[in-house]
Amino acid sequence: MRLNKKERQRLLKETILENPFVTDEELAEKFSVSIQTIRLDRLELNIPELRERIKNVAQKNFSEEVRSLPIEEVIGEIIDIELDEHAISLLDIKEEHVFKRNNIARGHHLFAQANSLAVAVINDELALTIKSNIQFIRQVKLGERVIAKAKVVEKEMEKGRTVVHVESFVNHELVFKGEFHMYRPKHKEGVQK
């Protein structure tokens, strides 16, 4: 059943409020209209495109939480974080991320997303990668969305060390994994600020 424009736009607005990370393609499928119709609806409703919505959510929710680097230096968009526990970011693979001849993402972008997320999850003003052990599981292609999930697995505050595991997925398929050993300053009082 096709909805009239007014009803579709009302439901579109509700859907985006519930899930600001929904894509135009997913919305077009949900409402059985073209992607162009969704884009026009968003324009009329003053709803920004996905990338801007993600940026707005990240800045609103996480800019004061991330201590180890400015939020704009994180590769990808942070969509969830609990310092010294876990974090999630997403990165849409665009033309600037791929080799032109085959549209496969350059590995350093996947590494940068994972490494910056490992730094961001540290609850300290300084966090540096000491070493990493990484594995690329499969190629990532132009147009795919990479969701990186970081989890702090070991904290040795007296040694100034933290270990963070990061796994990256495309549509629930593991594409990259890494173990990042992080340096963080030791605090005499034993409590992180």
- CATH assignment of the domain containing 140: 3.10.129.10
pLDDT of residue 146: 95
CA distance 85 to 151: 6
pLDDT of residue 66: 60
CA 73-144-19 angle, to 5 degrees, is: 75
Do 136 and 70 sit in the same domain of this protein?
yes
Q: Is the pLDDT of residue 17 over 70?
A: yes
CA distance 179 to 193: 25
Which amino acid, 58?
A: A
CA distance 91 to 65: 20
pLDDT tens digit sequence for 107-123: 999 999 999 999 989 88
Do 128 and 178 sit in the same domain of this protein?
yes
Do 37 and 10 sit in the same domain of this protein?
yes
Task: Report the chain's terminal Cα–Cα distance, integer Å.
Answer: 56
Residue 82 lies in a domain: yes
pLDDT of residue 63: 47
Do 96 and 147 sit in the same domain of this protein?
yes
Per-residue burial over 152-190, b = 16 or more CB atoms within 10 Å of its CB, e = otherwise: beebebeeeebbbbbbbbbeeeebbbbbbbbbbeeeeee
Residue 132 lies in a domain: yes
Do 34 and 110 sit in the same domain of this protein?
no
Do 22 and 109 sit in the same domain of this protein?
no
Residue 55 lies in a domain: no
Do 41 and 73 sit in the same domain of this protein?
no
pLDDT tens digit sequence for 123-157: 888 888 999 999 999 999 999 999 999 999 988 87
Closest C-alpha to 104, from 134, 138, 77, 76 = 138
pLDDT of residue 52: 75
CA distance 79 to 58: 6
How confident is residue 160, by pLDDT bands cut at 50, 70 and 90?
confident
Share of the chain above pLDDT 70, in %: 86
pLDDT of residue 97: 95
Q: Looking at the 3D structure of the chain, how many domains does it have? A: 2
Question: Are the C-beta atoms of 161 and 144 separated by less than 8 Å?
Answer: no
pLDDT tens digit sequence for 56-97: 665 555 544 565 566 667 888 888 888 899 999 999 999 999
Rama region for 173: left / alpha / beta (φ>0; ψ in -120 to 50; rest)? beta
Q: Is the pLDDT of residue 51 over 90?
A: no
pLDDT of residue 64: 47
Do 143 and 173 sit in the same domain of this protein?
yes
DSSP string, 111-123: HHHHHHHHHHTSS
pLDDT of residue 79: 81
Do 19 and 79 sit in the same domain of this protein?
no
pLDDT of residue 193: 43
Alpha-carbon distance values, 74 to 33, 90, 100, 183 (Å): 35, 10, 24, 18
Question: Are the C-beta atoms of 72 and 116 separated by less than 8 Å?
Answer: no
Over residues 156-181, the mean pLDDT reads: 92
Residue 168 lies in a domain: yes
Residue 52 lies in a domain: no
pLDDT of residue 61: 52
Residue predicted with more confidence, 164 or 192: 164
pLDDT of residue 191: 46
- CATH assignment of the domain containing 19: 1.10.10.10
Do 33 and 92 sit in the same domain of this protein?
no
Range of the domain at 39: 5-47
Residue 56 lies in a domain: no
Residue predicted with more confidence, 10 or 73: 10
Do 33 and 105 sit in the same domain of this protein?
no
